[in-house]
Amino acid sequence: MRTLGMLGGMAWPSTAEAYRAINEGVAARLGGHHSASLLIASLDFAEVAALQTAGDWKAAGELLADTAVRLEAAGADGLMLCTNTMHRVAEAIEDAVNVPLLHIADATAERIRADGVTSVGLLGTRFTMEQDFYRRRLEAAGLEVLVPPTAERELVHRTIYDELVAGQVREDSRARFLAVIDGLAGLGAEGIIAGCTEIELLVGPGHVALPYYATTALHAEAAVAWMLEA
């Protein structure tokens, strides 16, 4: 089994969910008392969030790249970034290490294409929805990517940062998210991407009529497959 280094803490609920999913996946594949070989670096999200708000992606990339280097030095054979938004600095991480970074958008796009879906609605932080680092990766895989209107993007972003990163799950927020999803379906979305790992705490596949792509789960599945390839 390969050892996976997890860059986490952005925010901690999504890292906890990824840790659980990877260990469950390894146990399901190998049986017995098996669990995953993992190294975890959990950052202080307040520091990362401040850099996001300031738009200082260079400093954010340096912070995560330094953490990735330390994980590699500790014995990680590959890396997983336990957040969608911070894939904004994926290239800085990849340039700093000699081991692969398993990209969350690649795992997501692979499943969407396998399902025959060609048009998807993307929910996430404002950075993920409005910047092109994530959308570009999906479009390169042949997908049409739709995002909500400005006011709804702000609603989604605010809910993530004010509630979900602190582990708060509110029914009224779920209802608002489902209304946003209905709007994306009206624009032609054939499926919905939960492009922020915390969104999965609020909206699950059972809440949505369209195919629903929970990126944490898909990323974890890809990580398990990679860990057990060797």
The tens place of each residue's pLDDT in the chain, 230 residues long, gives 999 999 999 988 889 989 999 999 999 999 999 999 999 999 999 999 999 999 999 999 999 999 999 999 999 999 999 999 999 999 999 999 999 999 999 999 999 999 999 999 999 999 999 999 999 999 999 999 999 999 999 999 999 989 988 888 899 999 999 999 999 999 999 999 999 888 988 998 889 999 999 999 999 999 999 999 96
pTM given for the model: 0.89
Q: Which domain holds residue 17?
A: 4-103+218-227
Residues 29 and 117 in one domain: no
User: Quick one: 135 and 90 in the same domain?
Assistant: no
Q: Tally the C-alpha atoms within 13 A of residue 128's C-alpha that lie toward its C-beta.
A: 24
Reply yes or no on whether 82 is catalytic.
no
Q: Which residue has the tokens 């042949």?
A: 142
Same domain, 37 and 88: yes
| Interstrand relation of 119-123 and 144-146 (parallel, antiparallel or unpaired) | parallel
- 113 and 31 share one domain: no
Residue-level pLDDT at 230 = 64
The verdict on 87 and 141 lying in the same domain is no
Check whether residue 72 and residue 19 sit in a common domain. Answer: yes
Same domain, 109 and 208: yes
Q: In CATH, what number is assigned to the domain containing residue 90?
A: 3.40.50.1860
Same domain assignment for residues 157 and 88: no
Tokens 């997890």 belong to 6
Catalytic residue among 15, 67, 83, 197: 83
Spatial separation of the C-alpha atoms in residues 180 and 14, rounded to whole Å: 22
Count: domains in the chain = 2
In the set 82, 108, 196, 197, the catalytic residue is 196
- One domain, residues 121 and 194: yes
Same domain for 112 and 199: yes
40 exposure class (CB count in 10 Å sphere: 0-12, 13-18, 19+) = middle
Are 118 and 198 in the same domain? yes
**Residue 7 exposure: Cα atoms within 13 Å on the Cβ side:** 30
The reply to whether 83 belongs to the active site is yes
Question: What pLDDT shows up at residue 201?
Answer: 84
The verdict on 95 and 125 lying in the same domain is no
